[in-house]
Structure 1
Amino acid sequence: MLVRRLARPLLASYFIYEGLNNVRTPKAHAEELAPFVEMAAKQTGVPNEPETIVRGVGGAQIAGAALLATGRVPRPAAALLASLIGPSTYVHEAFWAETDPARKAAKKSGFFRNAAILGGVILAAVDTEGKPSLRWRAAQGAEQSRRGARRAAKAARREAKLFATQTENKLT
């Protein structure tokens, strides 16, 4: 459908841009991420290398966005992007922690922009392209099987009754 062919690349463009920024210049985001990485490193043993994590997230953003934009496995790609934007928004757009009114306003704007993008990728993650979901198809298949089994049982009873009647008539 034309709408999906336009909407998916448009939605993916944000993640490609952000992913490229993360891969090319990880220092900008690594500074904000450092306290979280340090805490995670202490608890889990993950290496305390914020720049590497920022680059990894950037690569995942680019890969997920490319898959979404091209329409290859768009639902899992959108789910991946949704899982990346939530933590990123929490780290980079924490307007509630800002005291400077101008920075607070800018971060608040970024927070709500990312919330809107998160809504878009969630919709993309559940979009079945107008086809029924796998769950619905399974339920319909099970219902059709039940109906078929009932019809077959009814036909078998009819045949058995007819056979019994014919056998009884031959014996008398």
Structure 2
Amino acid sequence: MEWAFLLGRIVFGLFFIYNGINHLANVRRLSGYAASKKVPVPQAAVIVTGIMLLLGGASVVTGYQPVIGNILLSIFLVVVAFWMHNFWGETDPMVRANQMTNFTKNLALAGAALALLGVPTPWPLSLGG
């Protein structure tokens, strides 16, 4: 089961690492979207959240400081779900459906990150911490 846990951690963590890289590689485009959602200091917000995603994802993959990493991911996911994917405020059915999908995805991922907080540390096959 240790190897299954490691494989799951890698898949879960790489999702966040990929998205963190995407945030940092596309700051201008994502800042425009953040600005449209009334995020204060949108460029800084995109950079900070990109770093949160990278650190959280790397923490899950390596098992280093997984409590801190999963807290970072949980905070990011819950805040973004309610702020950026507020489907209840959309009138266009397609936009509403897309935002609802992203809202529920973020909450499900936050649930997984919170569940990982229940795994005793140090994690098996991890760098410890």
**How many residues matched?**
120
User: Could you say what secondary structure the match of 1:127 adopts?
Assistant: coil
Correspondent of 1:78 among 70, 95, 99: 70
1:59-138 matches, within 5 Å, as 59-128=51-120
Which residue is equivalent to 2:17? Answer: 16
Q: When the two structures are superposed, what TM-score results if normalisation uses the length of structure 2?
A: 0.82
CA distance in 2, matches of 1:29, 1:92: 11
Q: When the two structures are superposed, what TM-score results if normalisation uses the length of structure 1?
A: 0.63
Q: CA deviation at 1:127?
A: 1.4
Which residue is equivalent to 1:136? Answer: none
User: Could you say what secondary structure the match of 1:104 adopts?
Assistant: helix
Q: Structure 1 vs Structure 2: percent identity of aligned residues?
A: 24
User: Could you say what secondary structure the match of 2:39 adopts?
Assistant: helix
Runs of 5+ in structure 1 lacking a partner? 38-48, 132-172
Structure with more helix by fraction: 1
Q: Between the two structures, name the one with larger relative contact order (CA 8 Å, sep ≥ 6).
A: 2
For the 8 Å contact 1:11–1:120, the answer to whether it is kept is no
Distance 1:88 1:114, change over 3 A: same
1:141-156 matches, within 5 Å, as none
Query: In structure 2, what residue type is equivalent to 1:55?
Result: I
CA distance in 2, matches of 1:115, 1:28: 24
